[in-house]
Amino acid sequence: MARSSEFNFQRKSEARSAIAGHLGTTVGAIIFYLITAMILSTVSVNIFPGSGAISTVGFMAVNFLVSLFLGLLMYGINILHLSLVYGQDVSFGGLFEGFRRGTNDRIIKVQAVLTAVNFVCTLPATLYASKLTGLDGIRTHLLPLTGLYLLGSIAEIWFALGFAMCYFLIADFPEMGSAQVLRTSVKMMKGHRWRLFVLELSFLPLYFLSLLSFGIAALWVFSYEAASTASFYKWLTGRQPASH
């Protein structure tokens, strides 16, 4: 536990130093991302508001496309923070680095895999819940339903940790194809999933405290966490700063 605390302290210390003086850029990018995600999610719900088979399939298809688009923006957020950890200058325009030709196709392919994995992990619980009728049905089957959601969440976190380095690899290794990026991330994270999980988990108290500011401080926590993850990548690779 002492070693884990020391490791987290080092990653967070580097992250705080990196984002100091740049919060206007990073928080601005995060706000843009969150507003975009909210708008697209609202649109996708309104396009297919029904509960029939066609509406369900249509809603899933639109959500898949939304996920791909948001993946391009999330790439930009990750690279903004990686650049800061590398000691490089950044600007708000860096948020749109994922839309650059030669990069966007790899991001879309990787994001498609990540979205598909998340879908498969949550599918058993979703299908089980869809067969339940009314509140009484949910109460009757609450235990197995909760178990399926729990197992799906654990699987989702496991895969997410394995693929956590994908965006950074795309930025630092332009010669890597999307399949190689996915394989390399999993290989890099072998034996380090728990370390990254504990690091990410350490931000939960800050997110809870941010409620005292009506969620406004959560924007800083988001940036702080993203920079800490970038610091984790830098530690994991020992790679010197690259131009993004």
Closest listed residue to residue 229, CA positions, set 156, 160, 153, 158: 160
Q: What is the pLDDT of residue 127?
A: 79
Q: Quick check: 52 pLDDT over 80?
A: no
Residue 169 domain-assigned (yes or no): yes
- 40-67 per-residue burial string, b: 16 or more CB within 10 A, e: under 16: beeebeeebeeeeeeeeeebeebbeebb
Task: Say which DSSP state 240 is in.
Answer: P
Number of domains in the chain: 1
Residue 211 domain-assigned (yes or no): yes
CB 116 within 8 Å of CB 122: no
pLDDT band, residue 5 (cuts 50/70/90)? confident
- In degrees and rounded to multiples of 5, residue 2 shows phi and psi of -65, -45
Q: What is the pLDDT of residue 213?
A: 93
Residues 6 or more apart whose CB falls under 8 angstroms from that of 76 comprise 29, 94, 95, 96, 97, 98
pLDDT in tens, 87-140: 999 999 999 999 987 789 999 999 999 999 999 998 888 878 777 766 766 677
Domain that holds residue 9: 2-237
Residue 91 domain-assigned (yes or no): yes
Residues 6 or more apart whose CB falls under 8 angstroms from that of 118 comprise 156, 159, 160
Q: Average pLDDT for residues 65-70, to the nearest whole number?
A: 94
Residue 202 domain-assigned (yes or no): yes
Indicate whether this model's pTM tops 0.85.
Answer: yes
Residue 244 domain-assigned (yes or no): no
Residue 242 domain-assigned (yes or no): no
Q: What is the pLDDT of residue 164?
A: 97
CB-facing half-sphere around the CA of 51: CA atoms within 13 A: 2
Closest listed residue to residue 74, CA positions, set 43, 34, 118, 112: 34
CB 6 within 8 Å of CB 73: no
Residues 6 or more apart whose CB falls under 8 angstroms from that of 102 comprise 174
Q: What is the pLDDT of residue 51?
A: 59
What are the tokens at 180?
């190689």
State the average pLDDT for the chain: 90
Tell me the three-class secondary structure of 159-189, residue by residue.
HHHHCCCHHHHHHHCCCCCHHHHHHHHHHHH
Q: What is the pLDDT of residue 130?
A: 72
State the virtual CA torsion across 132, 134, 140, 145 in degrees, nearest 10: 50
Residue 243 domain-assigned (yes or no): no
What are the tokens at 138?
């949910």
pLDDT band, residue 58 (cuts 50/70/90)? confident
Residue 167 domain-assigned (yes or no): yes
Task: Say which DSSP state 52 is in.
Answer: S
